[in-house]
Structure 1
């Protein structure tokens, strides 16, 4: 028999599992929804601290009460914050647990508190302010009904379920978010399954992309003991689609699911595949974080195109983005057509880094414009993927020397699991101020749904304000089509987009 031990996330208690648990039980499984202290379980004594160790002990108590027995396999399921006490408990009962299921959650690391996994910077700051009060047993108040979205997409959750979620929510003990998780490494050897909710901005493809970028904490996810599922719903699948969740958990318990592809010499990551066009092998000039590709016969200051890579990209990624074939390919293509091609590295290593990345890009652009071989009054900026929010600064107040702004398969609004970005990084609002600035957007027809929504919202806003925008469609193209879709359609899209940018630079 499979024994599921279910652990819920911030502000919530065992009640969120009611429907999913009933479906698991009807399929013959034994189910225990853990009542964490202060979140549906025992209330701590006044003035005492409830921390992560308290919640780990809560999970351990259920594991120990269940016992192993012949033919009984314990599957721990952690949703959201709940994955932290789940992994902490599994690390101490490695011989008792058959599998860990990460339900739309992060990947806890030794020595890192759960607060680090909260994507919204404002929420993290709120928690830190509350913790600074010095009040023993301080807690974070639960969100109002219309604020759950800040903690994860509520897509698909019926109104009555959202009402109940709000009514039964508990203040979350701050100590559980602030105390670092301590692990021996035993849990890292267990079979595990990730269940990703695509409506919350997560997908297997995105995890694969992060693995491809060399993120150290994710390397082990390509092993044979790790499987993945996707659910087409928001962050609360036990409320939005409990039947699909129960079916998925049963499959996970059997070891089913999709596996990631390891990255090695015989299977290079997609971002290191060759550029789809044959471009001249021009020399580059490297200064700090900037590379310049100069036209072969430069007889005076030339216009320039600055190519801004996407992200977030782990700080440990090697090679760094300015050496990726797609960026060097575009830069050489531009230089071959008589303008200076520029690649750069900026520090968008996490969702919280957009302000730092924006500063890096602005500084790099000014250094490029100061180069005597560059015409400072004829510059174009070309953004890719996750650098889409950075376009907002340039549209909100376009300088006279900016002759064109282009974006390939951009993410034009925060994805649901990003939390809030600073107001300046919202392209759909900034485009109203773009005026006559020419815009070029290259749209991948096979884009992931969550990114495609942000693009359509931006295009709607651009149309509403009469922005000067040209859309280059790649109907059968995927995100990053320049390396993975080596088709005539893709080549034509690159030619057309570059042709538009060059026209605005040179006329």
Structure 2
């Protein structure tokens, strides 16, 4: 018999697993829905699992308190196979307990959460900047707990997509304030948990997916190579951040399959050349290339200052990824193509290494643009900015208040509004909202027909907002194109779309395109 120990996320207790635990029991498994100390909330206790764990109030509740409670529960479980399931915050005590009892654990399941490392506090994996700042501020002020979210604040923890109104109301009613020390105390691991079989449950409505995982592995950063281990599997659920409430039947099926060792493995896919390192879909003439700091200039064969097109990559791209984006075939291909048509093509490595770094990336782009405009071979009054994928959010500043030298903004399969779970809802990085400031600035938007739904929604939001305010948007469609089509869909239609977009941008710059 398999025993599932279900550990809830921030501000919640075992009650969130009620339907999942019942269905697992009906399927012949044991299910322990844990309420950790201090997280019982308005649900009236722990339902027989977890609880105060013998803490007795003799020390503050922190991450170690919760780890100790899980270790004691593991020691009490008689089933041969123990599967530890952690949702959101819950994965931190789960991995801590697994590290202390690795011989008892058959598998760790991460529901909607990454893999914390030794020394990581739980707050590190919280994507919402407002929540992170609030935890750190309250800790500095000597506060003891983080107040439970209001009904409007749950979206800061993740997408509420698929969550019935009754479930959201119950989530709010039973939510508990949580000890700040559980968020700020570093997780201490010996490394034993890293050897255990692991499954990730990814909820696509919250912006996570198997494609994203495979992309991270394909970046070449050693930090993500463990995800390609054959002992690591993945499942996707088409719902938001709380699948135990929005899709309990589907989650139960996934948990049972995970316990049986099933799931998608990325190892086979990463043996191939990653999509972003495949050849550019067009043969372009090689042009001279000069590197200064994080900026590369691809130079045309022309006298006098020439207009420039600055290509802005997406991400997050791990800091250890090699090659870096300015050496990826698509960006080199675009820049060389532009240079061959008489403009300066510019590729940039900015530091969007994690979702929390959009501000730093925006500063890098502004610095790069200043460097480019100051170069004597560039006409500083004729510049276009071309944003790609998640780099699309970085277009917001330029759309909101376009400078006179900005003659065109282009975007290819962009993300044009913050995705759920990214923690950027209240940030300045919201191009769909910024479009009203663009005026008659030309915008060239390349849209792919086979886009991920959560990204396609942001593009449609932008197009609608731009139409409402009279912005000059040219939409170029690639009906059978995928995200990153320049290296994955080398078709005549794709090549035609690239040619049209490039020539349109150069036309707005007044660059020669013969």
Pairing of 1:406-445 with structure 2 (within 5 A): 406-420=410-424, 423-445=427-449
Q: Separation in 2 of the partners of 1:223 and 1:483?
A: 26
Q: Separation in 2 of the partners of 1:76 and 1:280?
A: 55
Pairing of 1:11-410 with structure 2 (within 5 A): 11-40=11-40, 41=46, 42=51, 48-68=59-79, 72-135=80-143, 138-261=144-267, 267-296=272-301, 298-410=302-414
Are 1:460 and 2:471 counterparts?
Answer: no
* Distance apart, 1:463 and its partner CA: 1.1
**Change over 3 Å in CA distance of 1:105–1:423 after alignment to 2:** closer
Q: Separation in 2 of the partners of 1:422 and 1:315?
A: 26
Q: Separation in 1 of the partners of 2:428 and 2:160?
A: 25
SS at match of 2:428: helix
Are 1:494 and 2:498 counterparts?
Answer: yes
* Alpha-carbon contact 2:92-2:187 (below 8 Å) kept: yes
**Change over 3 Å in CA distance of 1:96–1:423 after alignment to 2:** closer
* Distance apart, 1:423 and its partner CA: 3.4
SS at match of 1:403: strand
* Alpha-carbon contact 2:305-2:378 (below 8 Å) kept: yes
* Distance apart, 1:333 and its partner CA: 0.1
Bigger mean CA deviation after superposition, 298-307 or 230-239: 298-307
Q: Separation in 2 of the partners of 1:262 and 1:181?
A: 32
What TM-score do you get using the length of structure 2 for normalisation? 0.95
Aligned length in residues: 500
Q: Separation in 1 of the partners of 2:480 and 2:323?
A: 29
* Alpha-carbon contact 2:214-2:269 (below 8 Å) kept: no
Q: Separation in 1 of the partners of 2:196 and 2:360?
A: 37
* Distance apart, 1:45 and its partner CA: 5.5
* Distance apart, 1:268 and its partner CA: 2.0
* Distance apart, 1:262 and its partner CA: 5.5
Q: Separation in 2 of the partners of 1:162 and 1:270?
A: 39
- Structure 2: tracts of 5 or more residues without a match: 41-45
- Structure 1: tracts of 5 or more residues without a match: none
Deviations 1:388-446 (A, max 9, x none): 11111111111111111000111111111211255321111111010110001111111
SS at match of 1:386: helix
* Distance apart, 1:295 and its partner CA: 1.0
Deviations 1:348-399 (A, max 9, x none): 1111111111111111111111111111111111111111111111111111
Q: Give the CA RMSD over aligned residues.
A: 1.4
* Alpha-carbon contact 2:419-2:455 (below 8 Å) kept: yes
What TM-score do you get using the length of structure 1 for normalisation? 0.96
Deviations 1:238-290 (A, max 9, x none): 111111111111111111111113676x6222111111100011120111111
Deviations 1:138-162 (A, max 9, x none): 1100100121111111111111111
* Distance apart, 1:346 and its partner CA: 1.0
2:43 maps to what in 1? none
Q: Separation in 2 of the partners of 1:422 and 1:155?
A: 18
* Distance apart, 1:212 and its partner CA: 1.1
Q: Separation in 2 of the partners of 1:231 and 1:369?
A: 46
* Distance apart, 1:214 and its partner CA: 2.5
Q: Separation in 1 of the partners of 2:347 and 2:174?
A: 52
Q: Of the candidates 465, 468, 474, which is equivalent to residue 470 of structure 1?
A: 474
* Alpha-carbon contact 1:34-1:62 (below 8 Å) kept: no
Deviations 1:185-223 (A, max 9, x none): 111111111110111111000011111112333211111
* Alpha-carbon contact 1:34-1:58 (below 8 Å) kept: no
* Alpha-carbon contact 1:139-1:174 (below 8 Å) kept: yes
Q: Of the candidates 479, 500, 509, which is equivalent to residue 505 of structure 1?
A: 509
SS at match of 1:406: strand
Deviations 1:124-177 (A, max 9, x none): 110011112225xx1100100121111111111111111111111111111111
Q: Separation in 2 of the partners of 1:474 and 1:47?
A: 63
Q: Separation in 2 of the partners of 1:158 and 1:359?
A: 40
